[in-house]
């Protein structure tokens, strides 16, 4: 009798705890749902109210009620594209040289170092840009004598996303089966040819993941950008010109504005959210298809 | 014979007594040899480019740290660290604010994140469609920019719940932001626990929950702690969320968790954008030291965990 009761208690406890774990797991879905509902419910009506023509126009002037964010979208895209280009070029080559062209002991040390650097707060990168990169650009290569702008922001961001790119692409390269390498050497290719022509193409989905990750980080970064881009709400015409990104627009006005202007900031946030959502969805669709294919192929072996 | 021919010898110089087909054969071999030499050279050049990229990235990344330290270290003084904010700026409120934020966000995110990871790794086969939804939601949360979290926190805590700018609002928003980090790394730690340990526990008659709490979680403890330490690092580094949720009140000590405040990272931004570059650099040094030591702790914990994995398995 007693044993039976204990047994029933254990079964009940298992069910309850399972429910608790399930609740925790579902919390992510709940949180995401809340974010979507709150943002869209507060941001979208405003776009309807002032009209998409105004909202996607080029003029941002709080006194005349012009809330056009097109110039910021363009600036955001410029900064994202340039920083991803710089970051991927340097980061991918760095990962390749860490993969085969370095002594293994140095690689372990450099990886630790790079992991450490990945944790540096973005505001520190912004500060670095403000006190080093902006004066440097102003005094050397800027034709207009302005250091702030898209180029400064792209430099800062590409340094900031470098650790992520290096470790993601190095992981991708390390995941390529070792016998590809040996097979290619056996066919007479040199070590360098093998790395660039066999291993790198085999790791391309991981490299692609690094690209998408860095685009996501670059477009959403606020603090590293806001300190070096100058923040004038104008259409970018030069790399050395004070412009404003979507993220900077939100952070700048957040504490000072109210009423319609504040709602305009929330709508700006909605646009940013839509951008990253599209990026994420297309990425997980691409990667999801690939992973499922791999799992199916791996099943009989396990 | 073809192999021994010097590569620079032009094909016209081959002796005429050879038949035409032999001459073209030699010609082809030489062309191939040249092409191969060119290729080998090209890839050697790519290797040099790769190595210089490595040098460039190490130099730039170290430059960030070195320049910040060089500019800021000399401006650190007692007044900045622990003084009252009245005549000169001080980051004492930021220390308190950061501590509050870490405590609140970890207190909220750790139980939910660990519970979620347990569900994902231990109950995996039961409801696979739900698991997939959860994974998509977690990945999406991880990809949302922090300023968007800031807007969400502002809409929920400042406006909808009427807390005004508060540390608790900022802490909970940060908790949602670090949730994917905790879930992912805890899940990895749980999956690293060998299956045989669970099966052994079941064979001894332990229930699933008992197995989780007495076998799986203790084995994964180091990995889970590492993930929490990394999450603390993220909380301390974050500033864009906080500007919209805790209000950037740099000059007042927070009284309790419902008062507005500031954090170390937010102070760096405040000083840098309000014309205190020296204080910004000094605060940057403090922030850098805090974050790097936290990351070193996480690395050491991770290494201990990596070793104990073999001992347990």
Query: Tokens 């204990």, residue?
Result: A6
Give the DSSP per-residue string, A241-278: S-B--HHHHHHHHTTT--THHHHHHHHHHHHHHHHHHH
Give chain B's mean pLDDT.
85
Please report whether residue A227 resides in a domain. Answer: yes
Look at residue B311 and tell me whether its pLDDT is greater than 50.
no
Look at residue B231 and tell me whether its pLDDT is greater than 90.
yes
Any idea which of A10-14, A85-89, B32-36, B191-195 has the lowest mean pLDDT? B32-36
Tokens matching residue A151 = 């180029």
Please report whether residue A38 resides in a domain. Answer: no
- Structural domain span for residue A147: 71-289
Q: What are phi and psi of B185, to 5 degrees?
A: -75, -30
How far is it, in rounded angstroms, from Cα B155 to Cα A273? Answer: 15
Please report whether residue A167 resides in a domain. Answer: yes
pLDDT value of position B3: 47
What is the value of ipTM here, to two decimals? 0.88
Q: What is the DSSP letter of A300?
A: G
Q: What is the CATH number of domain B78-312?
A: 1.10.3720.10
Express as a percent the part of chain B with pLDDT over 90: 39
B235 in contact with A, Cβ within 8 Å: no
Give B276→chain A minimum CA distance, Å: 12
The pTM is what?
Answer: 0.86
List Cβ neighbours of A23 (8 Å cut-off, separation of 6 or more): B115
Please report whether residue A203 resides in a domain. Answer: yes
CB contact under 8 A, A21 and B39: no
Select the residue of B43, B266, B299 nearest A193 (Cβ to Cβ). B43
Print pLDDT tens along chain A (302 aa): 577 888 888 888 888 999 999 999 899 999 999 999 999 998 888 888 888 888 888 888 877 878 888 999 999 999 999 999 999 999 999 999 998 888 888 898 898 888 888 889 999 999 999 999 999 998 888 788 888 889 999 999 999 999 999 999 999 999 999 999 999 999 988 888 899 989 999 998 889 989 998 999 999 999 999 999 988 888 888 888 888 999 999 998 877 777 888 888 899 999 999 999 898 888 877 776 665 555 544 444 33
pLDDT value of position B7: 53
Q: Which residue of A has its CA nearest to B131?
A: A25
CB contact under 8 A, A192 and B46: yes
pLDDT value of position B19: 59
Give burial (CB, 10 Å; 0-12/13-18/19+) of A287.
Answer: middle
Residue of A12, A41, A46, A223 to mutate, testing the B interface (most B Cβ within 10 Å of its Cβ): A223
Helix (H) or strand (E) run with residue A135 in it = helix A134-139
How far is it, in rounded angstroms, from Cα B73 to Cα A117? Answer: 19
Give B18→chain A minimum CA distance, Å: 30
Please report whether residue A14 resides in a domain. Answer: no
How many structural domains compose chain A? 1
CB pairs under 8 A between A and B: 270
Q: Which residues of A touch B244 (CB under 8 A)?
A: 250-251, 254
Query: Mean of the pLDDT values across residues B255-261?
Result: 85
Residue A39's beta-bridge partner residues? none
How far is it, in rounded angstroms, from Cα B115 to Cα B145? Answer: 25
Please report whether residue A244 resides in a domain. Answer: yes
Find the CATH number of the domain harbouring A209: 1.10.3720.10
């Amino acid at each position: 009798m007693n044993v039976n009761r204990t047994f029933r208690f254990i079964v009940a406890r298992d069910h309850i705890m399972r429910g608790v774990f399930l609740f925790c797991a579902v919390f992510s879905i709940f949180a995401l749902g809340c974010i979507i509902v709150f943002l869209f419910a507060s941001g979208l009506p405003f776009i309807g109210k002032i009209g998409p023509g105004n909202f996607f126009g080029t003029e941002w002037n709080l006194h005349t009620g012009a809330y056009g964010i097109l110039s910021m979208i363009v600036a955001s895209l410029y900064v994202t594209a340039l920083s991803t280009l710089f970051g991927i070029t340097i980061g991918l080559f760095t990962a390749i040289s860490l993969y085969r062209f370095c002594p293994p002991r140095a690689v372990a040390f450099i990886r630790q170092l790079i992991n450490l650097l990945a944790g540096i707060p973005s505001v520190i990168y912004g500060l670095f840009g403000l006190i080093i990169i902006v004066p440097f650009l102003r005094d050397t290569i800027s034709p207009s004598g302005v250091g702030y702008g898209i180029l400064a922001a792209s430099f800062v961001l590409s340094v900031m996303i470098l650790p992520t790119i290096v470790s993601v692409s190095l992981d991708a390269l390390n995941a390529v089966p070792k016998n590809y390498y040996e097979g290619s050497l056996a066919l007479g290719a040199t070590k360098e040819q093998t790395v660039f022509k066999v291993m790198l193409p085999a790791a391309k989905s991981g490299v692609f993941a690094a690209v998408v990750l860095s685009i996501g980080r670059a477009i959403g970064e606020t603090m590293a950008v806001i300190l070096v881009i100058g923040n004038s709400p104008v259409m970018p015409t030069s790399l050395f010109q004070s412009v404003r990104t979507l993220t900077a627009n939100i952070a700048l006005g957040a504490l000072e504005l109210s009423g319609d202007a504040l709602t305009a900031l929330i709508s700006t946030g909605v646009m940013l959210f839509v951008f990253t959502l599209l990026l994420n969805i297309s990425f997980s669709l691409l990667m999801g298809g690939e992973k499922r294919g791999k799992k199916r192929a791996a099943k009989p072996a396990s | 014979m073809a192999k021994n021919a010097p590569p620079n010898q032009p094909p016209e110089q081959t002796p005429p007594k050879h038949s035409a087909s032999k001459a073209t054969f030699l010609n082809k071999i030489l062309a191939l040899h040249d092409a191969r030499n060119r290729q080998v050279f090209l890839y050697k050049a790519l290797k040099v480019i790769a190595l210089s990229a490595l040098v460039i990235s190490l130099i730039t990344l170290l430059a960030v740290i070195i320049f910040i330290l060089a500019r800021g270290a000399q401006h650190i003084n007692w007044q900045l660290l622990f003084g009252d904010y009245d005549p000169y700026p001080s980051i004492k409120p930021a220390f308190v604010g950061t501590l509050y934020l870490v405590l609140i966000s970890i207190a909220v995110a750790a139980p939910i994140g660990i519970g979620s990871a347990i569900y994902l790794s231990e109950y995996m086969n039961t409801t696979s469609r739900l698991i997939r939804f959860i994974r998509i939601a977690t990945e999406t949360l991880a990809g949302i920019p922090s300023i968007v979290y800031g807007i969400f926190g502002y809409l929920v805590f400042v406006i909808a719940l009427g807390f005004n700018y508060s540390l608790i609002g900022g802490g909970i928003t940060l908790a949602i932001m670090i949730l994917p980090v905790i879930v992912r790394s805890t899940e990895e730690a749980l999956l690293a626990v060998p299956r045989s340990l669970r099966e052994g526990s079941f064979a001894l008659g332990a229930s699933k929950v008992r197995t989780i709490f007495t076998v799986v979680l203790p084995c994964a403890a180091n990995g889970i702690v590492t993930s929490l330490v990394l999450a603390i690092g993220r909380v301390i580094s974050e500033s864009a969320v906080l500007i919209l949720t805790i209000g950037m009140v740099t000059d007042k000590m927070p009284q309790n968790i419902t008062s507005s405040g500031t954090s170390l990272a937010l102070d760096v931004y405040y000083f840098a954008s309000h014309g205190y570059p020296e204080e910004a650099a000094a605060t940057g040094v403090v922030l850098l030291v805090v974050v790097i030591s936290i990351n070193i702790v996480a690395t050491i914990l991770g290494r201990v965990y990596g070793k104990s994995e073999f001992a347990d398995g």
